[in-house]
Amino acid sequence: MRAFLVALVLLVLAAGGAAAQSGERVLAATLENGLRVLLQEDHRSPIVSFQMWYRVGSRNEARGATGIAHFLEHMMFKGTPTHGQGQFARLVEQNGGQDNAFTSQDVTSYYVNIAADRIDLVIELESDRMHNLKLDAKDIASEREVVIEERRTRTEDDPGGFLGEEVSSIAFRSHPYGAPIIGFMEDIKRITPEEIRAFYKTYYMPSNAILVAVGDFKAPEVLAKIRAKFGKIPRGATPPPVLAVEPPQNGERRVVVAKQAQLPIVYVGYHVPNQTSADAFPLEMLSTILSEGRASRLYKRLVYERQLALEAGGDYNYFSQDPNLFWFWATPMPGQTAEAMEKALLAEMETLKKEPVTDEELQRAKNQVEATFVFQEDSVHRRAALLARFELIGVYADKDRFLERLRAVTAADVQRVARAYFADDRKNVGVLLPRP
């Protein structure tokens, strides 16, 4: 086994060397209006990934207006006076490209992957919709029905999504992370065109955005084109900061829901720090040890060996802007109860506190993270996204120090953070019981 791990590391390092040789340094610039631009040349293939990242997500929403960031993401494809209804996606597709977007708790991101010689088109389209979105009342009304149906599909009719929303709502009493990204149904139905227009004017401006492009181009030339198009857009006022700080949790919180489903589901969430803490790296390692692949601890013990769970996993969001939750979840095998599944999950937490992870587990986790990290360099899209994510939490150059800091994590570090954050009186538990 150790020979295999050594071979994997050598393969990863070789791949990393190839990726590094193919990628040039990052050309970074901040325009006078505040737009942050990161450009990296990659001449291996005649393509480019062009991405706009806005520093706004569900974290920036007020009570009673949840889901407005996600709603606006939909509206960004509805057209401007220059490029009418549906023309953005149509023009990208006609030129052989792909475009999409997503909204998270912290950011809203738009991307176009297209032939490199079509980058002028994308610069034109993205600069236009940053400042000139129509936001017609009729378009908002029709898109409202689309968002309502999306919520119904992903949350109302999805047991896992439904339970996750319930657990978040009890875990966060002050911070907006407790609200769903897609928004509550009542808010989606109520949000007015005036609120959406005000949200757009507040957050969609150059000083609140990061433009990242990676691909087959000459960076100085592309930067000049970006200046010409985006540089004309006014800077705008600084968006209001998110001041909410989640107070310490003083006892276990629990929610039990009954919903039409085939099997029970158990979620457990613990409050943990974000990447500003030195504990972020041991937590990232712990997440990988517990849930990454079939050799991970939860899969191996609960799914394979004991056959208690149909699936089991965990997750830690290193890139979260504010302290968030470390999640654990499991779906019991038919015939197993939610109560037994919860006990088995919590027993794994206790094992982490009492016994250090093995050297083999720790090394495997480091190899997995490093392999995933390095192989992302082979995709212009993923490399651009990674640059943006590190810039959002600090500076893009931190990307080059990430693996070094992960390699320094010890088994004692992993045990320490498990003891520090997985206390019985700090857990948020959600149980979904199937209803006929």
Angle at 435 between CA 434 and CA 436, to 5 degrees: 120
DSSP 3-state of 84: coil
Catalytic residue among 41, 73, 342, 348: 73
How far is Cα 68 from Cα 202, in angstroms, rounded to an integer? Answer: 12
- Asked if 203 contacts 53 with a C-beta cutoff of 8 angstroms, the reply is no
Closest CA to 92 of 57, 55, 129, 56: 129
Which residues, 6 or more positions from 108, have their beta carbon under 8 angstroms from its beta carbon?
53, 54, 56, 57, 69, 70, 72, 73, 101, 102
Q: Phi and psi dihedrals of 146, rounded to 5?
A: -65, -45
For residue 111, how many other CB atoms are within 10 A of its CB? 24
For residue 194, indicate whether it is catalytic: no
How many Å apart are CA 63 and CA 66, to the nearest integer? 6
Whole-number Cα distances in Å, 119 to 125, 292, 423: 10, 37, 51
User: For residues 278 and 435, what is the distance between their CA atoms, to the nearest angstrom?
Assistant: 43
Per the listing, tokens 């994308």 go with 122
Instruction: Judge contact between 383 and 400, C-beta under 8 A.
Output: no
Residue 286 near residue 417 (C-beta atoms within 8 A): yes
Catalytic residues: 73
